Amino acid sequence: MKPKLRVAVFVSGSGSNLEALIRAERAGRLKAEIVLVVCDNPDAYAIVRANKFEKSVFLCEPKTFGSREDFEKALVEVLKKEKIGLVVLAGFMRILTPYFVNVYRGRILNIHPSLLPAFPGAHAIRDAFQHGAKVTGITVHFVTEHLDGGPIILQRSVEIGPYETLEGLEAKLHKIEHKLYPEAIRLFAKDRLSIRNRKVTIER
């Protein structure tokens, strides 16, 4: 019997996606095991959520390292020790270097609150709202050296109503994130994702 995929979730902030993923795991929907939570921020509420569910936390502050590469080498050492097969970015507010991407190429997922390639970057929800977009959404994609530019796995759209508030839009998008991310991880865990010519195919 094939062993369960071992997952590390990278966080920096509140950890709402982390909790959604843990709940999906407990419900049997993830088809993978979250064995490690990696956090670069000692004040992140995500640590509280991880502790609540008795998940191991590796706190690794970048300022304690001489360079970004030294920081990432420490991450890789821990991930290899834990036999991590998939890295899941869930509100991790650092851009990974080509070094880290190369080590885990094809095994790093990210979730982004827009329909990429529209509105990349850290303020996608606000940018779409202020732009006056009629539709936005959620994208789960593989991570590459290009910011928010990796092959797209899943997308879901959301209409922005004429009387929508930014807070209301954020709440709607978070609900979709909490459903879409577990689905993408499940597809990866069941070996149903393949990349050809920078396009993702979902195998039946």
pLDDT score recorded for residue 204: 82
Q: Can you name the residues that pair with 89 across neighbouring β-strands?
A: 10, 110
Residue 73 in tokens: 């080498």
Inform me whether the pLDDT recorded for 6 exceeds 90: yes
User: Tokens 């890789």 label which residue?
Assistant: 76
Q: Which tens digits make up the pLDDT trace of 177-187?
A: 999 999 999 99
123 is catalytic: no
Inform me whether the pLDDT recorded for 163 exceeds 70: yes
Strands 32-39 and 5-11: parallel
Prediction pTM value: 0.96
Residue 139 in tokens: 């994208």
The number of folded domains in the chain is 1
Q: Which tens digits make up the pLDDT trace of 60-89?
A: 999 999 999 999 999 999 999 999 999 999
At residue 97's C-alpha, the angle toward residues 93 and 103, to 5°, is 115
CB 39 within 8 A of CB 57: yes
Q: Which position among 112, 131, 174, 178 bears the catalytic label? A: 112
Could you tell me the CATH number of the domain that includes residue 174? 3.40.50.170
Task: Name the average pLDDT for the chain.
Answer: 96
Name the band, by pLDDT with cuts 50, 70 and 90, for residue 145.
very high
Q: Which domain holds residue 137?
A: 5-202
Inform me whether the pLDDT recorded for 17 exceeds 80: yes
